[in-house]
């Protein structure tokens, strides 16, 4: 009872901060057009669905067919209401809200559950990777939301038959959101075997619903794999298991695993603490000794990990990259040390830690092998990882709650400042984007070309060069898939191997970034320089832009 005022004040801080954070995100969803590259690329499927109301198109690829939940739903929304990019962005934001609610629900069913929910909410909205994706139109947050919802529905108490049926449906929807749900759901199902219940209860009410949903999702995948003439494994790995992405993952793995920046600078110490604390507890160490060991090790790792990740080339990295970062790291460590005075009712049990670990490990392992080049691809493992971060910080928070409202409010206010800084990362806008948005007259906020130029300046100029060249029935060739969104059914997304490959097309757009050049030279053994393609004779190409901004636009003249 003495902690009730402290909880009320902390709740006011967290939920007011969360509300303002979401308000900023939905404001951008309305005024900024879709601009994430994959959202534009896969959004072509949504546009075709909205126009023709069926699923299969010559322009669609196995990657699209593996992500039907969001993109088909977006297409239906556009088909019923009319094509409007903000509607797709708002739909994406609603999945982000579902993720937030599901994560809070996941940790609430316990002593001090309300406080655990507050820690979880702050952990999510402080993560730059979440802020960047919150209204992006990508499928990483929808799959994380549905995996989290399935976990929350069965995590603590044995599900009823009705809830077990709902868990199966949610698991199937997660599979339809993105193939990466598979390993997360398998991990969730295996974790249920660690509950202390009868085998009948565990298998019938916990494991079977999740695996049943997985089975429904895999049945859909089998049918689509047959449609595109692929085996199931190839279909599920579409877009990640190519030579280019394997090389990218190999180059990124050292940094991705050691830097500890999976959820941003603000949570680096807390993330390292959660991992170290869980390991030493699982090998038999008691809570207080585990805190004594894990807190200083986490602080040290918040510098050592980034230093090794950068191959010992810089000293001012990680928690030492700035005075503010050092203060945040020391402050987080001091906060976590309050867990020494916590009572047992707030301490995470070894059994639950083991279940969270089993849930997270399959996805984390696959991400390390195939997706280490992008933190957003870890999203299906966010529910168990963020739950571990929040619940290992809970003992410290309960100690402060018992000391009174002011003691608990201080760390929550400081963390609200971290969240406020993270607003600059919402939708990937960054400080420069927000500054340009503020300079844009309010009357231009609903002018799509003007607003798209804020987030995609180079692409917008390339698009303006392309539009006058394209007529009905003309085809465009480019490795840049974003053009597919603006010319649905008229774009082939690939690289040419020689000039003869361009005969069928009206426009060719060469991407001139270093990654594209390297891919063309190392994997296709053809030049990535605009001058090489401008010299084509059969067919002749007329160069419309020089490529200095990332896109060399050519008109193919026959």
Q: Which domain holds residue 473?
A: 456-557
Final residue of a structural domain among 432, 448, 471: 432
CA separation for the pair 143, 70 (Å, rounded): 9
Q: Is the dihedral of CA 285, 290, 296, 302 positive or negative?
A: positive
Q: Is residue 472 part of a domain?
A: yes
**551-557: strand order across its sheet:** 491-493, 476-478, 507-511, 551-557, 540-543
Q: Is residue 442 part of a domain?
A: no
- Claim to verify: residue 426 and residue 466 sit in the same structural domain: no
Bridge-based pairing state of the strands 476-478 and 507-511? parallel
Which pLDDT score is estimated for 242? 81
- Claim to verify: residue 177 and residue 78 sit in the same structural domain: yes
- Claim to verify: residue 498 and residue 416 sit in the same structural domain: no
Q: Is residue 113 part of a domain?
A: yes
- Claim to verify: residue 39 and residue 82 sit in the same structural domain: yes
Residue 499, both tokens = 């000039």
Residues in the chain: 558
- Claim to verify: residue 55 and residue 131 sit in the same structural domain: yes
Q: Is residue 138 part of a domain?
A: yes
**In terms of Cα–Cα distance, which of 469, 538, 472 is closest to 508?**
469
**234 C-beta neighbours (distance < 10 Å), count:** 13
Contact between 175 and 217 (Cβ < 8 Å): yes
Q: Is residue 6 part of a domain?
A: no
Which pLDDT score is estimated for 417? 94
**In terms of Cα–Cα distance, which of 532, 538, 502, 537 is closest to 520?**
532
- Claim to verify: residue 209 and residue 69 sit in the same structural domain: yes
**4 C-beta neighbours (distance < 10 Å), count:** 11
- Claim to verify: residue 18 and residue 70 sit in the same structural domain: yes
Q: Indicate the angle between helix axes 350-370 and 181-191, nearest 10 degrees.
A: 160
**374 C-beta neighbours (distance < 10 Å), count:** 16
Q: Is residue 2 part of a domain?
A: no
pLDDT tens digits, the chain, 558 residues: what are they? 457 899 999 999 999 999 999 999 999 999 999 999 999 999 999 999 999 999 999 999 999 999 999 999 999 999 999 999 999 999 999 999 999 999 999 999 999 999 999 999 999 999 999 999 999 999 999 999 999 999 999 997 888 999 999 999 999 999 999 999 999 999 999 999 999 899 999 999 999 999 999 999 999 999 999 999 999 999 999 878 888 888 899 999 999 999 999 999 999 999 999 999 999 999 999 999 999 999 999 999 999 999 999 988 889 999 999 998 999 999 999 999 999 999 999 999 999 999 999 999 999 999 999 999 999 999 999 999 999 999 999 999 999 999 999 999 999 999 999 999 999 999 999 999 999 999 999 999 999 999 999 999 999 999 999 999 999 999 999 999 999 999 999 999 999 999 999 999 999 999 999 989 999 999 899 999 999 999 999 999 999 999 999 999 999 997
Give the count of domains, the chain.
2
CA separation for the pair 303, 272 (Å, rounded): 11
Final residue of a structural domain among 432, 464, 481: 432
Q: Is residue 450 part of a domain?
A: no
- Claim to verify: residue 393 and residue 526 sit in the same structural domain: no
Q: Is residue 284 part of a domain?
A: yes
CA separation for the pair 265, 116 (Å, rounded): 21
Final residue of a structural domain among 398, 417, 432: 432
Residue 423, both tokens = 């607003």
Residue 211, both tokens = 């695996």
- Claim to verify: residue 84 and residue 167 sit in the same structural domain: yes
- Claim to verify: residue 96 and residue 161 sit in the same structural domain: yes
> CA 186 from chain center: how many Å?
20
Which pLDDT score is estimated for 2? 56
- Claim to verify: residue 182 and residue 244 sit in the same structural domain: yes
- Claim to verify: residue 122 and residue 166 sit in the same structural domain: yes
CA separation for the pair 211, 188 (Å, rounded): 10
């Amino acid at each position: 009872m003495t902690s009730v005022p402290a909880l009320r004040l902390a709740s006011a801080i967290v939920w007011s901060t969360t509300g303002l954070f979401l308000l900023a995100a939905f404001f951008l969803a309305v005024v900024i057009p879709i601009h994430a590259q994959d959202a534009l690329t896969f959004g072509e499927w949504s546009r075709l669905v909205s126009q023709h109301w069926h699923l299969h198109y010559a322009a669609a690829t196995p990657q699209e067919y593996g992500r039907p939940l969001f993109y088909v739903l977006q297409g239906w929304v556009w088909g019923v209401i009319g094509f409007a990019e903000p509607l797709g962005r708002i739909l994406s934001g609603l999945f982000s809200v579902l993720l937030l609610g599901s994560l809070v629900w996941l940790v609430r069913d316990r002593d001090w559950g309300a406080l655990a929910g507050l820690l979880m909410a702050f952990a999510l909205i402080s993560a730059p990777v979440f802020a960047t994706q919150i209204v992006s139109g990508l499928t990483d947050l929808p799959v994380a939301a549905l995996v989290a919802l399935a976990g929350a529905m069965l995590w603590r108490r044995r599900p009823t038959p009705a809830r077990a049926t709902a868990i199966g449906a949610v698991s199937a929807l997660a599979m339809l959101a993105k193939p990466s749900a598979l390993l997360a759901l398998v991990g969730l199902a295996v974790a249920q075997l660690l509950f202390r219940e009868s085998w009948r209860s565990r298998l019938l009410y916990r494991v079977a619903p999740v695996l049943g949903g997985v089975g429904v999702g895999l049945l859909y995948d089998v049918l689509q794999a047959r449609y595109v003439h692929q085996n199931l494994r190839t279909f599920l790995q579409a877009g990640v298991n190519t030579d280019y992405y394997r090389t990218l993952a190999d180059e990124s793995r050292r940094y991705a695993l050691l830097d500890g920046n999976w959820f941003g600078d603000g949570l680096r110490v807390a993330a390292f603490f959660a991992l170290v604390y869980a390991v030493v507890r699982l090998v038999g160490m008691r809570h207080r000794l585990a805190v004594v060991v894990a807190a200083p090790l986490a602080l040290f790792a918040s510098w050592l990990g980034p230093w090794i990740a950068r191959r010992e080339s810089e000293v001012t990295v990680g928690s030492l990259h700035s005075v503010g970062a050092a203060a945040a790291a020391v402050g987080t460590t001091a906060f976590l040390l309050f867990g020494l005075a916590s009572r047992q009712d707030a301490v995470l049990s070894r059994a639950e830690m083991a279940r969270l670990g089993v849930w997270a490990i399959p996805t984390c392992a696959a991400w390390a092998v195939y997706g280490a080049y992008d933190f957003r691809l870890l999203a299906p493992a966010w529910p168990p990882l963020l739950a571990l971060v929040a619940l290992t910080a809970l003992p410290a928070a309960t100690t402060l709650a018992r000391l009174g409202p002011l003691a608990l409010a201080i760390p929550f206010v400081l963390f609200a400042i971290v969240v406020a800084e993270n607003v600059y990362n919402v939708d990937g806008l960054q400080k420069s984007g927000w500054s340009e948005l503020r300079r844009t007259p309010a009357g231009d906020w609903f002018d799509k070309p003007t607003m798209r130029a804020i987030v995609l300046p180079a692409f917008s100029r390339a698009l303006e060069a392309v539009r006058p060249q394209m007529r009905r029935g003309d085809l465009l060739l480019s490795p840049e898939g974003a053009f597919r969104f603006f010319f649905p059914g008229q774009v082939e997304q690939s690289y040419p191997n020689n000039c003869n490959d361009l005969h069928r097309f009206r426009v060719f757009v060469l991407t001139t970034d270093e990654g594209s050049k390297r891919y063309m030279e190392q994997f296709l053994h053809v030049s990535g320089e605009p001058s090489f393609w401008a010299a084509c004779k059969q067919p002749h190409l007329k160069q419309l832009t020089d490529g200095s901004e990332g896109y060399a636009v050519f008109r193919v003249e026959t």
